[in-house]
Amino acid sequence: MNRPIHKAYRSVTLLVSIVIMALSANVAFAMNVKKQNLIELMTHTDSILIGTVSRKTDGFQKGLPFTEITVDVGQNIKGDHGSTYTFRQFGLIKPKSTGDGRVNLMVTPAGWPTYAEGEQVMLFLHKAASETGFQTTAGLTQGKFTIKGKQIANGIGNDSLFAGVKINGKLSPAQQNLVKQAGGAYATDDFLALVKTAVKENWIENGVMTNEK
């Protein structure tokens, strides 16, 4: 084997090894991610938006597989994303040809959020990764809420979302019932109003919303 071919082979092998290691780490993280309540989701969130998924596609960025999601933004609750926001999440939509006769099987890891065009969502987004720019939701599926008319729920059915959460602010009767609800879909308007107020009035920073000890 001549040197150029040998060098190229080693480079490809190294890249594949890195990607496999990254995928394994991501899958392990997804399987072990703990349930997060609303305070934890908001604390680990860089921005919050509400909108409709208008487009999704996938591809490769420097050899790393990604799914690209575009959201038509209806409301910016935290951060300003303009009228549309596009981000890339690790993993393909489905196995994809690499163009050299091989097929990359690294789809979105189990436990990570997936998206459908036309889907109405509320996203609690992590800050984009510094090296890849990849971005996903806080708590993975927990930070992606799907809105279906008058009901809203995250990827684990809002399980434990208000577990241990104490709110010292004034809540409407409907919001008080929501906080007491152990899980299941919430009334969309009540939940959105609560989150908007919590962000606008800095409930966490000001000690209005705290974790019970």
Domain count for the chain, please give it: 1
What is this structure's pTM? 0.82
Q: Nearest 5°: phi and psi at 90?
A: -60, 140
Q: How confident is the model at residue 147 (pLDDT cuts 50, 70, 90)?
A: very high
Residue identified by tokens 């080693």 is 10
Model pLDDT, residue 112: 95
- Residue 7, pLDDT above cutoff 70: no
User: What is the pLDDT at residue 127?
Assistant: 93
Query: Is the pLDDT score of 143 beyond 80?
Result: yes
Domain that residue 178 falls in: 3-211
Does the pLDDT value for residue 155 go beyond 80? yes
Task: Give the strand pairing for 151-154 and 120-125.
Answer: unpaired
Burial of 195 (0-12, 13-18, 19+ CB in 10 A): buried
Rounded mean pLDDT of the chain? Answer: 87
The model's pLDDT over 53-92, given as tens digits with 9 standing for 90+, comes to: 999 999 999 999 999 999 999 999 999 889 999 999 999 9
Binned at pLDDT 50, 70 and 90, residue 14 comes out as: very low
